[in-house]
Every structure is written in structure tokens, then in C-alpha cells.
Amino acid sequence: MKKLFLALFIVAMCGIGRTFADEALPRFNAFPVDSVFNGQPAKVKIISARDRRFATRLRQLSGQKPNYAGHYTLASWGCGASCIMTVAIDAKTGGVIWLPFTVCCWDADVNEPIEFRHDSSLIVVHGSRNETGGGTYYYRLEGSEYVLVKAVEKTAS
């Protein structure tokens, strides 16, 4: 009888631990933006060497309706096999903010390796950053920088 209670206790604790772990993950609604930009988007400012290297892509994005963090147009494109790079263009100023790493090697069940919302400053990255490590990473856009909120490293199975 003691073994049965011990087994039930262990199962219950594992379930509770999993529930608390899931609740601790950052959610989009916890990072709201003050307002959503609805004006005419500013022309992109090509400033850095990286901007110049991808000027055609950036100009194609310029003028599009914001889809991230209230006033940014966020887009990703391929940079190799199962690899993407991501950029945000500020619709108010035309400024360019690059995600400071490439993303690759996301799991097959992941539909979008980069998740974001128009009304939240949170961005969720699934996969490896610069082909290192792997997991799910939660960032928030703060000014012109992506600040890591939480990292959930993938465990080997």
C-alpha cells in the first residue's frame, strides 16, 4: 500500500512540476506594446555594412504594414539549408534592427521557427542560434536590442 501511495505521489509531483514549468514560460500578452502604428511607414535607412549587403531585401520590406511590436515590420529569409536570418524595420523611423544571430535546425514539428505578434514585443525563437545549442528562446525588443527573457535548452533524448 505504501508503494502505491509513493507511486501516486511521484506521478502527482511530476504533473505539478510540468504545470508550473509551462506557466513560467513567457507569453505574448505579458509583453504588450503601448500602441500600434497605422501611419505611412518611413523609408528604410540603409546604414550598416550588413544593411548594404541586403539592401534589396530591406527595400522590398520598406513600406509594408507593421506586423511586430506595434511599429516594426519583421521578416525572415533563408541563409542556407534550414537556416534563416531575421530583421525588423521600424515603420516610424526606417531604422533596421537585425536579430543578432541566425536560426537553424528547428524541430520538424515546428511550423514557424520565429513567432511574433503585432501587439507584443516578445519574439520566440525555436532552434539553434548561430548553429550552436538548441531549444526555445524568448526575447523582447527593448529599444534597438533584443533582450533574452528566458532560454529553454533542448535536452538530449
User: For residue range 28-50, what is the model confidence (pLDDT) as tens digits?
Assistant: 999 999 999 999 999 999 999 99
**Residue 138 neighbours by CB under 8 Å, 6+ apart:** 25, 26, 122, 123, 124, 125, 148, 149, 150, 151, 152
How much is the pLDDT for 13?
Answer: 54
**Is residue 132 predicted with pLDDT exceeding 60?**
yes
Q: What pLDDT is stored for residue 42 in this prediction?
A: 95
Which pLDDT score is estimated for 2? 61
What's the pLDDT band for 19 if we cut at 50, 70, 90? very low
Give the single-character DSSP code of 113.
S
Residue 81 is classified by DSSP as T
Mean of the per-residue pLDDT values for the chain?
88
What confidence tier does 109 reach under pLDDT thresholds 50, 70, 90? confident
Per-residue pLDDT, averaged over 58-65, amounts to: 92
Residue 154 confidence (pLDDT): 86
Look up residue 34 and give its DSSP letter.
S
pLDDT score recorded for residue 46: 97
CB 96 within 8 A of CB 41: no
pLDDT value of residue 12: 54
Cα separation of 76 and 63, whole Å? 16
Asked if pLDDT for residue 4 goes beyond 90, the answer is no
Q: How distant is the alpha carbon of residue 114 from its chain centre? A: 5
Mean pLDDT of 130-142: 95
Q: Please state, in angstroms and rounded to a whole number, the distance separating the CA atoms of residues 108 and 12.
A: 30
Instruction: Say how far apart CA 72 and CA 84 lie, in whole Å.
Output: 18
| Gap between the Cα atoms of 25 and 134, Å rounded | 17
d(CA 45, CA 150): 31
